[in-house]
Amino acid sequence: MNILIEAHHPAHIHFFKHVIRILIDRGDEVLVLGRDRDVMRSLLDSYSYIPNILISATGTGNRFPLAEFLHRQRQVASSIRTRKPDIVMSLMGTYTQSAKLFGVPNLIFTDSEFQRTAHAIAHPFATRIHTPECFGKSLGRKHIRYRGYHELAFLHPDRFTPDPCVLNELGGIAEGDYMVLRVSAWDTLHDIGEQGLANQLTDTVRSLSRYLKVFIVPERGVDLGELESHRLALSPHRLHDVLAFARLVVSEGASTASEAACLGVPAVYINSTSRSYLDDQENRYGLVHNFRSASTAIARAMQLAEDPPSKAWRQQRRQALIDDHIDVTAYVIDQIDRYRSSAS
C-alpha cells in the first residue's frame, strides 16, 4: 500500500511516527511531505526511518502565508499525481483538495475546534474526519469520534516508556526538581489577537525559579534575551522524556499541556484560546489547569511548584486517563486497513 502523509507542524511527526514505523515494517510505502517549521527538520533527522521531503518553509510573513500555501498546494498535488498514493493522511487537512481532485481517499485527524479557517478549507474535500470523543463540535456526516487524544498516538504506555537517563543529560538533576515552560511564537494566522504570558515571561521564570529549576522550550523565532540560560539544550526528540520526570509543566501551547497530562504531570495551560481535550483533562482527571489570564495562571503554577500533588496521585490519575482511552496509533492503522482491500 502506498501512503502519503502531509505534515506541516512538528507535532504531526509525533502523531504519525509509530504509524509510519508499523507501515514500513510490514512493507508499505510511505512518504511524509514536511514543512520546515520550528523543530521539524531536527525531528525528521532524529527519526531517520521516516522517508520525507520538505516541500516548503515558513517565512517572516507566517501570519498570512499565502505564497507558501499556494506553493505547498502545488507540491502536494504534484506528489499525488506522480506517486499515485492509495490514501492521503494529515492532521489539519489544509491540502485535501488535491486528493479529492485525483480521487484518492483522504483522512483528516483533527482536535482543534477553533481553527475554523482550516476546517472551512479542508473538510468539504475530506473522505473522513476523525476527532477525539470530547471534540466540542459536530463536523457532519464525515465526522467519526474515537476515545483518545492525539498525544496518545505517541505517549500511550504501549508506545512510550520514559528514559530516566535524561536526568543525567539535564546535569544530574533529580526527578521532580525541575519544571518545563513552553513558550509559543504567536506568529501564525490563528494566533492573531490571542496571547499567553505576554510580557510576564521574565517575572514568571524568576518567581518559579525560587522552587524549581526552569527549562524553557521556545518555538523557533522566540528571543529569550536574558532568559537564554534557561533554554532546554537537548534534542527536540528528547522532550517527552524531559516532560515525564518534571514536577510541573507551564505551557502556552496546547499540545505540550496535553502531553504532560498524558504522562501524569500537572500542566498549567495559559492561552486565550481553549481546547476541548484540555478541558476534558482538567474536568475528568485534574491534570490540566486551564487559564486565559496570565496572572491567575502564574498564581496556580506557583502553588503547584511549592506544593505539588503526590506521585501516587499523579500515577493514579494518569492510569485512569489511560484506562479510559485507546492506543491511537492502533486506531489510525485500523482506519488505514479499511482501505487496504480496495487498494489491492
pLDDT digits (tens, 9 = 90+) for 106-146: 999 999 887 777 788 889 999 999 999 999 999 999 999 99
Q: In this structure, what CATH number is given to the domain that contains residue 223?
A: 3.40.50.2000
Q: Is 29 exposed, middle or buried (0-12, 13-18, 19+ CB in 10 A)?
A: middle
**Quick one: 99 and 223 in the same domain?**
no
Within-domain flag for 276: yes
The one-letter code for the residue type at 12 is H
Apex CA 130: angle with CA 126 and CA 134, to 5°?
140
CA distance 288 to 281: 6
Only one residue has cell 492502533, namely 330
**Quick one: 56 and 138 in the same domain?**
yes
**Cα-trace Rg, the chain:** 20
How many domains does the chain fold into? 2
Within-domain flag for 181: yes
What residues in the chain have per-residue pLDDT under 50? 61, 63, 186-187, 189-194
Within-domain flag for 161: no
Task: Tell me what pLDDT residue 190 has.
Answer: 46
Got the DSSP string for 214-236? EEEEEPTT---GGGGGGB--S-G
Q: Which domain holds residue 248?
A: 166-323
**Quick one: 220 and 138 in the same domain?**
no
Question: Do 63 and 189 meet the contact criterion of CB atoms below 8 Å apart?
Answer: yes
Task: Tell me what pLDDT residue 73 has.
Answer: 86
Within-domain flag for 255: yes
Helix (H) or strand (E) holding 22: helix 10-25
pLDDT digits (tens, 9 = 90+) for 264-288: 999 999 998 889 999 999 999 999 9
**Quick one: 28 and 117 in the same domain?**
yes
Question: Do 297 and 291 meet the contact criterion of CB atoms below 8 Å apart?
Answer: yes
Beta pairing class for 248-251 and 29-36 = unpaired
Task: Tell me what pLDDT residue 186 has.
Answer: 45
Within-domain flag for 185: yes
- What is the value of pTM for the model shown? 0.92
**Quick one: 260 and 289 in the same domain?**
yes
- All cell numbers assigned to 244: 515525564
The chain-wide mean pLDDT, for the chain, equals 91
